[in-house]
A = this chain, B = another copy of it.
Amino acid sequence: MSGEPKARGGGLGIPPGGQGLEETRIARAALTRLMEPGDATGALLVMALGPLEGLQVATGKRSVDPAIEGRVRSLLLGRGTKAWEGFAAASERWRGRVPDLAPHRDLETGARFGGRFVIPEDPEWPDGFEDLGEQAPHGLWVRGEDQLPSHRSAVALVGSRNATNYGLSVAGEISKGLVDRGVTVVSGGAYGIDAQAHRAALATEGTGLPTVAVMAGGLDRYYPSGNEELLREVARRGLLVSELPPGGAPTRHRFLRRNRLIAALAAVTVVVEAQWRSGARSTAHHAADMGRIVAAVPGSIYSASSAGCHRLLRDGVAVCVTDVQEAYELLAPAGEGLGGDREDRPAIHDGLAVEDLILFDALPVQRGAGIDSLTTVAGLSAAQVRAGLGRLQLMGLCQQTAGGWRRRDQQAENR
C-alpha cells in the first residue's frame, strides 16, 4: 500500500478518484493529521464528498461545488450545532498543515509499533460511533490485537486524576467485576481512577477484551509517562486507541475532545469520582448528549472528589450506582436483568420509561422528524429528546434517516 502513487494526488501521495479501501484509508490517515479532533466542518466536508475528494478540497487542490456547500450548510445549521464558517474559511486552518502530510509514512510508523489504522469503511468500525454524528473521528489509530469492541459490551469508567483511596477502591472493584462478567472497561489512561480501572481490568481473568485506553495524542508515545508500563500492558492485552496520527501531541483541547470517544465506545459511562469541574464530567455529558446511559458513584459530601458525581446526580444527568451489579444491569437491554428485586420503581409501559414512551409516540412512522420538531411534539427538552432517541435506537425502536428520526419499521425488516 506504500507503492507508486507518489506521483499522483497532487503530490500528497494519494491516488485521486480511486475508491479502493486502501486509498480511502490513506486519505483518512491524512485527514487525521490535517484536522483537529471534532472539527465538524471537516467531518461534514468528508461526509458530503467522501474522504478522497474531501481531502482534495481541504488541501486546496480542488474547489467545492457551491450547491454541495449549501446543502452541508443547511444540514449543519439544521442540527443547531453552531454557525457555519464555510469551507473556504476552514481551509485556511487546514492549509497550514498540508506540508506536514505524509499518510504513507504515518501508516508505516503505525505498523512498525504493531498498530493499524481502522476506518469507518472497515467491518471492525464500531457502529456506536454513528451516535457521534459530525463529531465522529476520521479513523482510529489502534494498538493491540483484538478488534474494537461493540459499545454494547463496554462500560466506560472515568474519574479524577487526584483520586482518593475511596475512589481507587471503588474503581478497582467495579472494573474487576465488569471484566468478570465479560464486559470491556474503557477509560482514558490517566493517573488516578483511569489507571486503576485499566489495572484492575488487566488483573482480572475475563472471557473478553479486558480494557481499552483512549489516548489524546499519537500512539507512539505513552502519556502520561508514569503510566508507561501500564499502557504497554494495555496495548499487549487490550487496546490503545487514538484519533491522532503518530507524533500527535496530547494538547489540552485534544484531551477534552478525546472524552467523546471514551463515551462513544461504551453503552454506559460510570463516573467514579469527579470534582465540581472535571474532565470526567465532560465525558459524562458527551455520553448523555449521545443518548448513552450515565451513572455516578456517590461518596462523602465532604469529599471534593465526589462533588462532581453528586452534581451529576442532583442535575438528573446520572443515575446512582453503588456496586458492580448495578453498573452491569445498566448494560442489559430494557426489561432484562433490571428491576427484579426492586419493588419501588416507577411504572413502565412495555419496558419504556414514561418520557421515552412520550417520545416514541411523537416519532413519525414514515417521514423523519428533526430534534426541534420532536421537542415541540413531545413537550421534552432538546437534551431529553436526544437522550431518548439514543435509548430508543439502542432498543431498535427508532432510526435516523436522511430526513431525520423516525420509528423503526420492524415489520418491513422481518419480511
Contact = CB atoms under 8 A, between A and B. Distances in A.
Given A342-B315, A354-B355, A381 B347 contact: yes
B381 A354 contact: yes
B300 A310 contact: no
Number of identical monomers bound together in the oligomeric complex: 2
A380 interface: yes
Interface string A370-407: 00000000011111100000000000000000000000
B298 A310 contact: yes
Contacts of A355: 354-355
Interface string A315-341: 111011111001000000000000000
A98 interface: no
Contacts of A132: none
Contacts of A358: 358, 379
Contacts of A166: 300, 302
Contacts of A320: 298, 310, 313-314, 320
Interface residues of A, number: 42
A389 to B, nearest CB: 15
B285 A310 contact: no
Interface of A: 166, 170, 285, 297-302, 306-307, 309-311, 313-317, 319-323, 326, 342, 344-347, 349, 354-355, 357-358, 361, 379-384
The 7 nearest A-B residue pairs measured at CB: A298-B298, A347-B381, A313-B320, A301-B322, A314-B320, A315-B344, A346-B381
